[in-house]
Amino acid sequence: MNICVVALGKIGLPLAVQFASKGHRVIGADVNEKVVELVNAGVEPFPGEHDLDVKLKQAVDAGLLSATTDTASAVAESEAVVVVVPLFVDAEGTPDFGWMDAATKAIAQGLKPGTLVSYETTLPVGTTRTRWAPMLAEGSGLTAGEDFHLVFSPERVLTGRVFADLRRYPKLVGGVDEASTARGVEFYEQVLDFDERPDLPQANGVWDLGTAEASELAKLAETTYRDVNIGLANQFARFADQNNIDVKKVIEACNSQPYSHIHQPGIAVGGHCIPIYPRMYLWNDPAATVVRSAREANAAMPEYAVDLLAAAYGDLTGVNVLVLGAAYRGGVKETAFSGVFPTVEALRARGAVPFVSDLMYTAEELAAHGLPPHAGETVTAAILQADHAEYRTLTPADLPDVTVLVDGRRTTDPDAWKGVRRVVIGG
């Protein structure tokens, strides 16, 4: 097949490489000229994705992958179009469709009869049918379900391990009509491979969800579940703090029974997915009080961590406090909706002087994100925000003037911190 992947970001580019690895000819379309230039040179535009550098070069050298800024022409050459353009959501949960609208209009200009269009960007339920189908029809003169196939098939991968996740998790597909769904299933069966999963209720592979709406809801539901579960864990942790209970032991005990799957509490829920998609779900279903309460509970955790620090340390006015970790999760160089930002804000609100360090970021990179880099200033308190593996071996010798450490991820070794006040959430 000839396939067009629209948007060569941290999900789109690995997808394009995966499709090419199956022998298909792939054209990647992106509005960023620098990204297009690097991809055509066989060089990954961003670091951190396992095996991407090697597989990208192989695909380009084999003549199976190229990139362009001309989306319409790339679509015109393709039998299938996969769209992974970012969708942003504001603090109130209102989607900003600007980039996706622009991409969809460009796709429409090159759309031919018989083409499959698959949206993988997480969307509010109903968007594929009520927004993209009319927009594609208006720009192309073709009708979804009659002249071309249209499906929603959510990405279900994490950056850093995209290729492994593509194999591990079933590919969900739902279309605007039965023929579209069937074509979508057929397409993904030709471009993906799957691991054996005896734990699943049906064979791992491409799963037909019937409709675009069911597929859209599946993506929102699986992510919202995680946010709600973490919110519940955080509520348990705060109660445990008030009653001198170790919530970690409680959660381990609960999860020894097969019907309990309580997640871990912590200082923050970050990244492109978990903090965002529950808001998107609430845009569809504003009466979902459980979802809203969980989102509020999780959003309050950075400030709660600072409250724990103040309770252990005392007045924070003028105190230099080091926040360990700018990334939203360990081992990933990404600050999207990271807990570092509200943690720094909460420290400043308490009168503290915050500094930030992260093994994956230079001082210049931190400053570019609006974070005050630590340049050797004496700090007497610290908050661990990201669970980088390197922090597991952190000791007081690394922070010799720190008298209180709030470990927001339970990453450090408690035995190594004897003699220093170490506080954990739910401990």
The first and second tokens of residue 317, run together, are 């006015």
The gap between the terminal CA atoms of the chain, to the nearest Å, is 56
Per the CB < 8 A criterion, the answer to whether 234 and 297 are in contact is yes
pLDDT cut 90: percent of the chain above it:
95
Per the CB < 8 A criterion, the answer to whether 211 and 202 are in contact is no
Per the CB < 8 A criterion, the answer to whether 216 and 127 are in contact is yes
Which helix (H) or strand (E) is 100 found in, with range? helix 98-110
Nearest to 28 by CA among 62, 61, 58, 56: 56
Q: Give the model's confidence band at 384: pLDDT under 50 very low, under 70 low, under 90 confident, else very high.
A: very high
Confidence check: pLDDT of 399 > 90? yes
User: What are the tens digits of pLDDT across the range 114-153?
Assistant: 999 999 999 999 999 999 999 999 999 999 999 999 999 9
Where do we find the tokens 């994705």? 49
Nearest to 176 by CA among 142, 223, 221, 201: 142
Calpha distance 212→392 (Å, rounded): 43
Q: What pLDDT shows up at residue 403?
A: 97
Nearest to 106 by CA among 68, 149, 147: 68
Calpha distance 280→136 (Å, rounded): 23
How many other C-beta atoms lie within 10 A of the C-beta of residue 352? 23
Integer angstrom CA distances of residue 339 from 173, 199, 275, 302: 33, 34, 11, 6
* Angle between helices 289-299 and 212-242 in degrees, nearest 10: 50
Q: What pLDDT shows up at residue 250?
A: 98
Nearest to 60 by CA among 78, 39, 45, 75: 39
Q: What pLDDT shows up at residue 272?
A: 83
The first and second tokens of residue 82, run together, are 């996969």
User: What are the tens digits of pLDDT across the range 26-75?
Assistant: 999 999 999 999 999 999 999 889 999 999 999 999 999 999 999 999 99
Please tell me whether the overall predicted TM-score, pTM, comes out greater than 0.75 for this model: yes
Confidence check: pLDDT of 91 > 90? no
Looking only at the bridges linking them, the beta strands covering 421-424 and 404-407 are parallel
Calpha distance 123→217 (Å, rounded): 9
Calpha distance 375→388 (Å, rounded): 20
> How many angstroms from the chain centroid is the CA of residue 36?
23
- The number of residues in the chain equals 427
Q: Judging by beta carbons within 10 Å of its beta carbon (0-12, 13-18, 19+), is residue 253 exposed, middle or buried?
A: exposed
Mean pLDDT calculated for residue range 236-262: 97
Q: What pLDDT shows up at residue 89?
A: 82
Q: Which domains does the chain have, with CATH numbers?
A: 2-213 (3.40.50.720), 301-424 (3.40.50.720)
Per the CB < 8 A criterion, the answer to whether 150 and 182 are in contact is no
User: What are the tens digits of pLDDT across the range 354-383?
Assistant: 999 999 999 999 999 999 999 999 999 999
Per the CB < 8 A criterion, the answer to whether 354 and 347 are in contact is yes
Q: What value does the mean pLDDT of the chain take?
A: 97
> What does 267-336 look like in DSSP terms, one character per residue?
S---SSSTTTHHHHHHHH-TT-HHHHHHHHHHHTHHHHHHHHHHHHH---TT-EEEEE--SSSTT----T
DSSP 8-state assignment for residue 128: I
> What does 183-230 look like in DSSP terms, one character per residue?
HHHHHHHHH------TTSSS-SSEEEEEEHHHHHHHHHHHHHHHHHHH
User: What are the tens digits of pLDDT across the range 93-109?
Assistant: 789 999 999 999 999 99
